[in-house]
Amino acid sequence: MAPEENEASISVLLKEKRSYPPPKAFAKSARVSSAAARGRLQARGRKSPEKFWEQAARELVWSKPWRRTLDWKAPRARWFVAGRLNASVNCLDRHLSGPRRNKAAIVWEGEPGETRTLTYLQLHREVCLFANALKGLGVVKGDRVAVYLPMIPEAAVAMLACARIGAVHSVVFGGFSAESLRDRINDQGAKVVVTADGGWRKGAVVRLKDAVDEAAKSCPSVTAVVVLKRTNTEVTIHEGRDHWWHRLTAKASADCPAEPLDSEHPLFILYTSGSTGKPKGILHTTGGYLVQTAWTTKNVFDLREEDVYWCTADVGWVTGHSYVVYGPLACGATVLMYEGAPMHPRPDRFWDIVERHRVSILYTAPTAIRAFMKAGDEHARAHDLSSLRLLGTVGEPINPEAWRWYREVIGGGRCPIVDTWWQTETGAILISPLPGATAAKPGSATLPLPGVDAEVVDRAGRPVPPGAGGYLVVRRPWPAMLRTVWGDEERYKSQYWSQIPGMYFTGDGARRDKDGYFWILGRIDDVLNVAGHRLSTMEIESALVGHPAVAEAAAVGRPDELLGQAVAVFVTLKGGRAPSPELKEELREHVARAIGPIARPSEIRFSDALPKTRSGKIMRRLLREVAAGRAIQGDVTTLEDLSVLARLQQDEES
């Protein structure tokens, strides 16, 4: 949605004052170890973003050097022009000539509990075998390959194999339905689909191959389906079209020279659901994407050779692309990968994994942190988490309550937390602390990284004063930015580059405080307008989660004759707390006290769960419909659990 012409600013009411400097012991040996050092990097990035990123690009291997760092004719960017490289070479081959050759690249744990470790040498071999298998199926440079797999090493293998031969992968999250898969395959015209017989989730097999069979009935572009045996589930094999992964790779050669690709060669398409309409295929290319994901992995996570790095995101989400696969493997990290549900078979599964694998860096989402918090401290306390040295969050604003819990109960008070802001479209983290250099404020993603020109502006593109809310934009191109919306250049221009003149519009509202820190206020589409005051959902939700009875909350506007919109909130309670009229009243007062009477909810509904996307974001669009008593419109294919919505609609008067 476009920012409204006449809107002045978003009222900012909630204030979080506490600040946490980097723990001394951490800062001492960090890559960027003081605010002054970060300041020098920022200054270099400001003076010449191109020089800054050029230096970062020198840390990768290129088969042909670039001629110009950047060609920019808005909204078209080309980074490292005429340079040639291959992403799989940067993630694999270049580590084979030194001691990383026999280092664990992927340490994997399946949901049933088995583990597998692939060294860089072994992963390289698997990728070469599978790349040759794809070639054998007729896949050539530029072809699209849909990847529909569980969180298993073969998901990374399939992605890197595509990258090796210049095919464009499009990972579709294994939790998506046959219809979502079909739409995505058809939008990109994928030639091959890579899937598995199934994957484990909450103790049951998710029947991926069945979904592919269903989807493929109406996917004329698909000529072959590759099936990995993961669960030994019975599947139907369509002779001529379907191929077992193990048979193809058994016959394939392990010698697969990587294709040297133009820096702007497409690396992948990833679909992201807009607030309305059909999902957009976000296109990322090779050089700039790899440069920025590698730089941010190394510096935001302060990556060390000996770290065990665990980003809990599924590869079907952009976080899984940039911070499970490309960024960390380009840095030669040991990546932990876990297949299953976070609380299976018990609520301590994550902490058990951290303890057994000695995880040192943990990167997860606020929604998961709140769920763990709700489950109770005892599950984490039962495990030795002393291997952890850095924590990260991504996906939503983290409310200060959850931030402090993460810091104390998981991080033992000694680990810095990096709250990283970015999007599918940005490809890499743009706003974040550098953990040895930036004092954290709970709920703030802090500062734009060096070489990134993010700002909070008004409708005309003018920076708003400290404390005022506005639109989060990026004023200059950055290497990992999206290049287009697949097959829809118009949508690329109108959605991202037309709303604020001359700038990339993120769709998020934000404010900067007097220290220049960024506070993300949530999606502009979600902003409430109560009697002419524009209120951020995030502030109301954060205030509610600050109440001891509340586990999670979502705030939406409900049409109101008097106010324009009234504040309606959906609240889930912590274990042991029961809904009551008194508690409703108490929560309304609590919000009014924390933020101001204008934000006092007109309506509170208790619910046992909130509708969320597969990656854990609350779907406020749906809650708006529920609050207004309307039928649900538009795309619900990204909804994690449809029954949540049905329950919310039934329980209107609970």
Which residue ranges make up the site for ligand 7RM (CB under 6 A)? Answer: 272, 318-319, 394-397, 419-424, 445, 506-508, 520, 523, 615
Q: Which lies closer to ligand 7RM via its Cβ, residue 266 or residue 507?
A: 507
Closest approach, Cβ 617 to ligand 7RM, in A, equals 6
DSSP SS3 for 127: helix
Closest approach, Cβ 216 to ligand 7RM, in A, equals 27
Q: Which lies closer to ligand 7RM via its Cβ, residue 342 or residue 397?
A: 397
Closest approach, Cβ 502 to ligand 7RM, in A, equals 20
Q: Which lies closer to ligand 7RM via its Cβ, residue 22 or residue 166?
A: 22
Q: Which lies closer to ligand 7RM via its Cβ, residue 506 or residue 542?
A: 506
Q: How far is CA 168 from the centre of its chain?
A: 20
Q: What is the 3-state secondary structure (H, E, C) of 91-114?
A: HCHHHCCCHHHHCEEEEEECCCCC
Measure the CA–CA gap between 311 and 361, rounded to whole angstroms.
8
Q: Which lies closer to ligand 7RM via its Cβ, residue 338 or residue 403?
A: 403
Q: Which lies closer to ligand 7RM via its Cβ, residue 20 or residue 244?
A: 20
DSSP SS3 for 604: strand
DSSP SS3 for 234: coil
Calculate the CA dihedral of residues 611, 612, 618, 622 and round it to 10 degrees: -50
8 Å CB contact between 165 and 139: yes
Q: How many residues are listed for the chain in this entry?
A: 654
Crossing angle of the two packed helices 581-594 and 537-545, in degrees rounded to 10: 120
Q: Taking Cα atoms as reference points, which of 383, 441, 436, 446 lies closest to residue 412?
A: 383
Q: Which lies closer to ligand 7RM via its Cβ, residue 80 or residue 326?
A: 326
Q: Taking Cα atoms as reference points, which of 592, 447, 449 lies closest to residue 520?
A: 447
Residues with Cβ within 8 Å of 583's Cβ and at least 6 positions away in sequence, in order, are: 549, 573, 577
Residues paired with 448 in a beta bridge: 431
Closest approach, Cβ 471 to ligand 7RM, in A, equals 12
Q: Which lies closer to ligand 7RM via its Cβ, residue 482 or residue 573?
A: 482
Q: Which lies closer to ligand 7RM via its Cβ, residue 164 or residue 614?
A: 614
DSSP SS3 for 377: coil
Closest approach, Cβ 368 to ligand 7RM, in A, equals 13
8 Å CB contact between 96 and 88: no
Q: Which lies closer to ligand 7RM via its Cβ, residue 231 or residue 495?
A: 495
Measure the CA–CA gap between 649 and 631, rounded to whole angstroms.
9
CA distances 291 to 31, 78, 215, Å, are 18, 13, 35
Ordered DSSP codes for 37-93 = HHHHHHHHHHH-HHHHHHHHHTTS--SB--SEEEEEETTEEEEEET-EE-HHHHHTG
Closest approach, Cβ 443 to ligand 7RM, in A, equals 8
Closest approach, Cβ 318 to ligand 7RM, in A, equals 5
Closest approach, Cβ 428 to ligand 7RM, in A, equals 10
Residues with Cβ within 8 Å of 520's Cβ and at least 6 positions away in sequence, in order, are: 397, 421, 445, 472, 508, 509, 510, 538
Closest approach, Cβ 317 to ligand 7RM, in A, equals 6
Closest approach, Cβ 12 to ligand 7RM, in A, equals 15
